[in-house]
Structure 1
Amino acid sequence: MRRVSVVGNSGSGKSTLGRALAARLGVPFVELDAIHHLADWEPIEATEFRRTVGELADGDGWVIDGNYSAVRDLIWARADTVVWFDLPRRTVIRQLLWRTIRRGVTREPLWNGNHETLGSLFRLDPQKSLLRWAWTRHRVYHERYTTASAERGDLTFIRITSRQDAARLLG
């Protein structure tokens, strides 16, 4: 395991596990959100996003965290392993709710000066609310990665369905 794609719903634990796994493997950790979201949550231009991610994916070893379909082909063409977070929806929503509250209260800086806000908890538009995004994308991600794990014999899929699974992967 040297080139690992970590995928799954927002708030599932991808970044936490990805950072720990990268440290354990002695490879760089890449968070796609940090590349995609410029200041004021502006998305990076698509061609630039693909170029940047393609250069990173050409490296000898890495752990890349994110679900962006715009660059999945670049990442999976070089990956040897996909770690797929497939936690129950209630677990993801609970974790994401507490994380959003903490980040909103502390104004924890994210990528490129962006911050989560408590107001996002009350928005119904999935593009403006991580909680709503996670709720609506849960089934999509489950179906996408269930299919991929059955069809992609060139990749090793490790399905994480609990915190214990994540701990065992790192252990």
Structure 2
Amino acid sequence: MLSADDPLPLTPQRVLVAGVSGSGKTTLSGRIARLWGLRHVEIDGLFHGADWTPRPEFLADVRAFAGEERWVTEWQYTSKGTDEILPPRAHLAVWLDYPYRVVRSRLLRRTIGRSVLRTRLWNDNVERPIWRTFRGSPEENILAWQTATLGKWAERMPVVAAEFPHLVIVRLRHPREAERWLRAQAEASGASIAPPKRRSRER
């Protein structure tokens, strides 16, 4: 497993971005896409249909883009079957293993902002009202979901590394490390990186 300062052994063409809800997977995926000229597939947009119902075509759509040569996407919906499709094809997994205070504050800011502004998301969905967002089961309460899944990737990554030895894994422990890593990749490839935008739509 590589750190922010370790050079990559290859220029990846297919990238997964892992992390708990609120870590900034979608934002980083977009920046990686611009850095290496990859297609960014926002996987939430494939999963969520109208009224937040799962799309029956989800896995078929995942298989379709995974068969392409160049892409980056968020590593999500592992319990829905994406682990059988995405890791075997990916070259690189970027793991955002940020402190709790960072991911919690990001998730609060994102969720409240979407709810208040009634931001249109995938397939014309909008965030639930705040009083509903912060109540109910983890499937309905995004804060409870984040809490329940905080240790997911720390438990999974050793298994992933053993199961997919071809997959290069980079562990970034703070947003500052992510910025440093992006700068290093840009310098290595002669590209430029855009500043982060205040926009993230991953769940």
TM range (shorter): over 0.9
Partner of residue 131, structure 1: 143
Task: Summarize the alignment of residues 1-171 of structure 1 with structure 2, pairs less than 5 Å apart.
Answer: 1-45=12-56, 48-69=57-78, 70-117=81-128, 118-171=130-183
Superposition TM-score, scaled by structure 2 size: 0.79
Runs of 5+ in structure 1 lacking a partner? none
% identical equivalent positions: 37
Q: Distance in 2 between matches of 1:37 and 1:108?
A: 15
Structure ID, larger Rg: 2
For the 8 Å contact 1:31–1:66, the answer to whether it is kept is: no
Distance 1:120 1:83, change over 3 A: farther
Distance 1:68 1:49, change over 3 A: same
Q: Distance in 2 between matches of 1:133 and 1:55?
A: 29
State the Cα deviation string for residues 110-169 of structure 1 (Å, max 9, x = none).
Answer: 101111131244213110011111111111232112432355321000112100121122
Higher relative contact order (CA 8 A, sep 6+): 2
Q: Over aligned residues, Cα RMSD in angstroms? A: 1.4
For the 8 Å contact 2:20–2:150, the answer to whether it is kept is: yes
Runs of 5+ in structure 2 lacking a partner? 1-11, 184-203
State the Cα deviation string for residues 49-97 of structure 1 (Å, max 9, x = none).
Answer: 2211111011111001132111122111110000111112222111101
Q: Count matched residues.
A: 169
AA at the equivalent of 1:50: L
